[in-house]
Amino acid sequence: MSPQENVKMDSMLLELKQNFRLRMGIWLIVFIVLLYLVLVQSARFDEAFSQYNRQALQLERAETLLGQDDWVTRAELENTSFSELSGRLWQAETLGLAQASLQGALNSMAQSLTLRNIRLRSGAAQAIDTIEGVWQVQVQLDAQYNAGDELGLLYKMAQNSQLMVVERFDLQPNNQRLSMIVSGYFTGLQVEIP
């Protein structure tokens, strides 16, 4: 060190020895820095501990699942259920054909009963977010009915080989009108989404 630096250092040490506030300020700064480092380490430790607990819980679940012997049976049941459900979905190439197919099926069911003044209107058509390649197509059916026809229509829809779901069903017994919104679920649609 040069003589100038020694003088500066000596003057700083002398000031530090003589000034109580300066000593307390420096110790306070050191304390704050150390406290900050302890808090940072504590947060890291807490995060590591919670991550360890999550991984231990996942490992325990995985070991429990691996200990079960019925995976082959579950997979076969899943494949069977998937095949059955896939066979019940409607098939169409375009949304227009899908709506026409659903309207045609509803019209033939309604006409086989004694429903009168049948009016079919296309409704919403939207992709099912949770199942890729499956679209929900809706049709609204309005008609006049004779007592018992409404049950017959519901029975025919339940017995249909393709899946039909009644979303809304309204009866007006005083003027014998029924209104329903029916959804069909389609695969094979070639739809361009803008």
Phi, psi of 190 (to 5 degrees): -105, 90
Q: Which amino acid is at 114?
A: T
User: Residue 1 — very low, low, confident or very high, per pLDDT cuts 50/70/90?
Assistant: low
Catalogue all structural domains in the chain, each as residue range(s) with its CATH number. 3-60 (no CATH), 89-187 (3.30.70)
Nearest 5 degrees, angle CA 127-CA 138-CA 163? Answer: 85
Tens digit of pLDDT for each residue in 84-119?
777 788 888 888 888 999 999 999 998 888 888 999
Structure tokens at 80: 């069977």
Q: What distance in Å separates the CA atoms of residue 111 and residue 115, rounded to the nearest whole number? A: 6
Q: What secondary structure does DSSP assign to 106-152, as a single string?
A: HHHHHHHTT-EEEEEEEEEEEE-TTSTTEEEEEEEEEEE--TTHHHH
pLDDT tops 70 at residue 14: yes
Write down the mean pLDDT value for the chain.
Answer: 87
Alpha-carbon torsion, ordered 105, 111, 114, 120, to 10 deg: 70
User: Residue 191 — very low, low, confident or very high, per pLDDT cuts 50/70/90?
Assistant: low
High-pLDDT (> 70) share of the chain, %: 97
pLDDT tops 80 at residue 169: yes
pTM of the model: 0.57
